Amino acid sequence: MMTDAGAEPLHRFPVFRTSNPEELRHFGSTLFGAARIDLGETDRFEARVNLITLPEIGLAFGATSCDLAADHFAADFIRLQIALKGRATTAAVGVTTDISQRQLAITPSGTASRTVCEAGHERLTLRLNQGALLQKMTALIGVKPRGELAFQSAIGADQPYAQGLCQLLQFLSRQLDSTASRLPVAACHELEQAVQIAFLWASHHSFSHLLERQEKQPASRVVRRLEDFIEANWQGAITIDRLVAEAGVSARSIFRAFDRSRGYSPMAFAKSIRLRRAREALMSGEPGISVTAIAFKCNFASPGHFARDYREAFGELPSETIARTRR
C-alpha cells in the first residue's frame, strides 16, 4: 500500500491540531477526559492528536512542542504508551513509570492518572478493553482464570515480545494510513486480535505464568478438523475465539498441535488457502481484475505483503499471473 512519505502515524485520522493553549484544554477535557492541563513555554506551541477507534482497540498518536502535564480522570480502557520521540512519565495508583525509547508504560483502566511530557515528545497510545483481554486470555489457556487481570506498569522495549508488539502496531498504523482502499473487515478483525494477544504476551500480569504452563497435546484429528473449518470459512475472520470454539481446546494447545503435526500455524494455513483462492481469481481471465482488488477480496491487509507472499508460494508476482493469463 502507498502511504504519504514522511507523514506522522495515523495522519488520516486527525482529531485536533492547535496552537492555542485554551483550545487544547477544551479538547483535552471534552475528548480525552483531562481534568487539568498545564503547559510550559508556549511560544510557537503546537499540539497534535490523531485517533482511530476500532471495535476492540483504539490507536492514537500525540505530539507536543512544549512541556506538558495532564491529569486524567479514570478511563474505562487500559493505555499502553510507546515513545516515538523524547520522553514522558505516567503516574497511576502511586507508581510513576517512564515512557521512553527503553520502556513502554501501562496505565490500568478505572484509575485516575497523570502524564508529564517533555517538549518535543511524540508517542503512540494503544487503548485496550479489559473485558476483551480477559476473553482472549481465556481462549489462550482454555479456562477463565480466577482473580483479576492486573498489569505491571512497565514493559522493557528490548524484550522480544515487546518488539513484536511494536512492529505489529507500526504495521497496523501503516495499513490504516494507506491511501488505497479501506482494510477488509476480516483482515482488520484479525489484526485487532493479533494486537491483543501480542499485548498479553509482552506485558507482565497476574496470569502471565498461566501462558507458560505446558498442556497435553490434543489428538491429531483436531488439526484436521480445524483445517477443514478454515478451508470452509477462509473468507471470514479466522480468529482465536472461533478456532477455540470449533476445537474445544485452548488456543495454546491448537498452536502447539499444528506446529508439532504440520510445522505451521493455523494462521499460516489460512494464508495458504487465501493465496490459493487468490491465484484462482487472478487466473480467471475476468476483465478489469486487479491485484489490489483480489488482495482485499481474499482478506490480505497489505497488497504489498500479498504480492511478496504470492511470489514465495507460486514463483511469480500476481501481476505476472494476470499478464500470463491474458496472452
The values of phi and psi at residue 148, to 5°, are: -95, 140
The position carrying cell 482485499 is 296
* Residue given cell 495532564 in the structure block: 70
Cell of 41: 513555554
Domains belonging to the chain, first-starting first, are: 14-130 (2.60.120.10), 217-327 (1.10.10.60)
- Grid coordinates representing 76 are 474505562
Q: Which tens digit of pLDDT belongs to each residue from 9-37?
A: 999 999 999 999 999 999 999 999 999 99
pLDDT at 274: 97
The region of weakest confidence among 78-87, 168-177, 178-187, 212-221 is 212-221
Per-residue pLDDT band for 42 (boundaries 50, 70, 90) equals confident
Q: 3 pLDDT exceeds 90?
A: no
| The amino acid at 134 | L
- Within 8 A by CB and 6+ apart from 305, the residues are none
| Interior angle at CA 45, CA 44 and CA 46, nearest 5 | 120
Residues 6 or more apart whose CB falls under 8 angstroms from that of 202 comprise 155, 159, 161, 162, 164, 165
Residue type, 26: H
pLDDT at 180: 60
Examine the pLDDT at 2 and tell me if it is beyond 50: no
CA gap 79, 291 in Å, rounded: 37
Kindly tell me if the per-residue pLDDT of 130 is higher than 60.
yes
pLDDT tens figures, 233-270: 999 999 999 999 999 999 989 998 998 889 999 999 99
Q: Apex CA 68: angle with CA 65 and CA 71, to 5°?
A: 145
- Note the pLDDT tens digit of each residue in 56-68: 999 999 999 999 9
- Grid coordinates representing 112? 485516575
* Residue 281 pLDDT > 90: yes
Amino acid letter for position 161: Y
Read off the pLDDT of each residue in 302-312 and give the average, rounded to a whole number.
Answer: 95
Burial of 158 per CB tally in 10 Å (0-12, 13-18, 19+): exposed
Give the pLDDT confidence of 153-172 residue by residue, as tens digits.
Answer: 999 999 999 999 999 999 99
